[in-house]
Amino acid sequence: MDILTHGLLGGTLAQSCGRKNETRDATTVGFLAALLADADALIQSSTDPLLTLEYHRQFTHSLIFIPIGALLVALILWPVFRKLGRPPGFRRIYLYALLGCATSGVLDACTSYGTHLLWPFTNGRIAWSIVPIFDPLFSLILGATLLAGLRWHKALPARIGLLLAAAYLSLGWLQHQRAEDAIRATAMLRGHATEQLTVKPTMGNLLLWRSIYRSGGTYHIDAVRVGLGGTGRIYPGTTVQAFDPSRDVPTLSTASVLYQDIRRFDVFSSSYLALNPEDSNLLGDVRYAMLPTSTRPLWGIRLDLQHAETHAPFETSRRMSRQEIDQFVRMLRDSD
């Protein structure tokens, strides 16, 4: 999730367990500790763009890293607090840091990106897809209760905020199930057997969802709008052929660097790969697009067969035309 929401959740959880005279300090430590996991973004390579993808939300987001990360935060902040003459001792700082660090991996697992929550015991990414990567309402709940706790020097507002946040995530889980049921019923009506299926919320809301399922060698992409009552409404989208190396890049050597990058990107995307219909040299992750019915991927790797021994460039595209924005708003508002 976005870095601000991470800090808000970590600060709120630490504040909910803080002593009255340590409210501000608990919030500060929890907020900063929750940001530590995203330091994995600093792992980069100028020659290997996919290295960042492989390490993002990896070991720093795992459950086993929580006590280690908390210790690092406590060792950094303890001298600062001592110099400022603040009340918390090392044990209390470590406790607040532990609470802050504990939120990062779990919160990211609630999104659709995928998190190595159980690393190193498994390399599988966990993605519950019950909340968008950016959700202003979820962030507002945490921010408002956190500020109330700071103002009144009480843990009660933070505890209320955590209950509301848990309720919101529960609503996301319910909406996810309803959207998935709707698209499974639609696939059945179409006579499609779903070999792969994923449903994920669109940016900033729990009403409009993007659905991608594979039937045969084709990905079917639709939008599903699920209100708080009634059945889901399907906005039919587009289709695209699933990527097949033997068909799409038949001359590429399996020993080449580019082919190995394709395999790495395939693991990252959970095998949801397809060539961009608007750019046949861009291999995209079809799980993500700005418009929920579009086959234009949010990101992908550039296939340059003339330079197969160099790493594939990683490209992103977040553009939306005025027409696409209007279309998104109409679907979100449940308009024809």
Among the listed residues 208, 216, 45, 26, the one whose alpha carbon sits nearest the alpha carbon of residue 11: 26
Euclidean distance between CA atoms 166 and 209, whole angstroms = 20
Q: Where are the domains of the chain?
A: 3-128, 181-332
Q: Which amino acid is at 256?
A: S
| pLDDT computed for residue 232 by the predictor | 83
Per-residue CA distances from 228 to 75, 206, 233, 281 (Å): 47, 10, 12, 41
In this structure, the chain runs to a length of 336
| The predicted structure's pLDDT at residue 305 | 95
In the chain, beta strands by DSSP E: 196-201, 208-215, 218-225, 233-241, 273-276, 279-285, 299-302, 314-316
- Residue 336 one-letter amino acid: D
Q: For 224, phi and psi rounded to 5 degrees? A: -125, 125
> What is the torsional sign of CA 18, 23, 29, 32?
positive
C-alpha–C-alpha distance, residues 143 and 148, integer Å = 9
Task: Give DSSP secondary structure letters for 315-328.
Answer: EE-----HHHHHHH
DSSP at 56: T
Written as tens digits, the pLDDT of the chain (336 aa) is 899 999 999 999 999 999 989 999 999 999 999 999 999 999 999 999 999 999 999 999 999 999 999 999 999 999 999 888 877 899 999 999 999 999 999 999 999 998 999 999 998 899 999 999 999 999 999 999 999 999 999 999 999 999 999 999 999 999 999 999 999 999 999 999 999 999 999 999 999 999 999 999 999 999 999 987 767 899 999 999 999 999 999 999 999 999 999 999 999 999 999 999 999 999 999 999 999 999 999 999 999 999 999 999 999 988 899 999 999 999 999 987
Which pLDDT score is estimated for 318? 87
Q: What is the pLDDT of residue 319?
A: 87
What is the pLDDT at residue 267? 94
Token pair in block for residue 158: 């933070």
Q: How far is Cα 244 from Cα 263, in angstroms, rounded to an integer? A: 12
- Which distant-in-sequence residues (6+ apart) come within 8 Å of 192 by Cβ? 213, 215, 220
pTM exceeds 0.85 = yes
Contact 30, 15 (CB under 8 A): yes
In degrees, to the nearest 5, what angle opens at C-alpha 116 toward C-alphas 51 and 291?
A: 75
Closest CA to 77 of 31, 37, 41: 31
The residue type of 104 is S
**CA 11 vs CA 26, 137, 159: distances in Å:** 7, 17, 11
